[in-house]
Chain A
Amino acid sequence: MKARVTVTLKNGVLDPQGKAIEGALKSLGVEGIDGVRQGKVFDIELGTADKAQAEAQLKAACEKLLANTVIENYRVEIA
């Protein structure tokens, strides 16, 4: 089973990297960009075929390591 975990900064958390990317896009002449927030994507292979079990394992992975829930949210998608 494959899954994708997306970790993003919570609203209101300052994202200087996103701001720098936004500035770079502007300087490249890419128009219409109102804001950029940078996040992380993890593609994960799971041994189980049980969706509920996979969800529990991924939640543990996010809570224990992949996301710092002080500043980040996470989203799990199972393929």
Chain B
Amino acid sequence: MKSAVIVFPGSNREGDVLRALKSAGSQAEKVWHAETELPQGTDLVVLPGGFSYGDYLRCGAIAGRATIMDAVRAHAARGGLVLGICNGFQILCESGLLPGILMRNANLKFICHRQFLRVERNDTAFTKAYAKHQAIDVCVAHGEGNYTADEETLKRLEGEGLVAFRYADAQGHITQDANRNGSMNSIAGIYSTKLNVLGMMPHPENLIEDLVGGTDGRGLFESLVSSFPRAA
């Protein structure tokens, strides 16, 4: 499996996500945002976290219109996998690959803490290594993670099962307290209609080693790698 991690000016989590991908068994390389094409044979595109363009205008707004994004849109349209984490999720929303927008956290604070998520479905390329409704322990670090969409979009996301993760407590219960950024329906991550694009605010790539406190994030990368036959 071959992954391309897009680097924008101000991205800062590309190293961690490269490490997570490689340790799960993927080939992975960085791709600069001004490129016009993805490397030949790219299976997965990752938009990493960070502060692309210093969050100028709106988070992800300028990166969402970068040259490489035309290639990413074409990749997604062909059914190729795309994962956006944190700022990457914001970029996916701004680029039109996912609906809605990430607004300023309801409490106006940058939040940075460990966070349980409930895995809403485990039949996608991103989550097959988890159990349905498993509570996974990852972390969040963002100031604009308050998922907002119009009523119709929200209804469609819920109706078509496109919510990937929700903020939950350690038992997997969806509670008001667990939803610290104020996201509608406690949404922490969503899929595109064809389930090949995933945007999520939390950072699974932070929790891939016992040394740093947990390994619940590994399942996401292992799911992705297991979706592709191993190269001989």
Contact = CB atoms under 8 A, between A and B. Distances in A.
Interface of A: 13-14, 16-17, 20, 64-66, 68, 70-71
A64 B107 CA distance: 30
17 contacts: A13-B103, A14-B148, A16-B103, A16-B104, A16-B105, A16-B107, A16-B108, A17-B108, A20-B108, A64-B65, A65-B57, A65-B61, A65-B62, A65-B65, A68-B61, A70-B100, A71-B148
Contacts of B157: none
In terms of DSSP, what is the predominant structure of the interface of chain B? loop
Interface string B92-120: 00100001110111111000000000000
B24 interface: no
Nearest to B100: A70
Nearest to A71: B101
B106 A66 contact: no
Contacts of A68: 58, 61, 94, 101
A73 to B, nearest CB: 14
Interface residues of B, number: 20
Contacts of A65: 57, 61-62, 65
In terms of DSSP, what is the predominant structure of the interface of chain A? helix
A14 B101 contact: no
B150 interface: yes
A20 B105 CA distance: 12
Contacts of B99: 70
Contacts of A66: 57
Contacts of B58: 68
B61 A71 contact: no
B106 A14 contact: yes
B178 interface: no
B154 interface: no
Contacts of B107: 16
Interface string B101-141: 10111111000000000000000000000000000000000
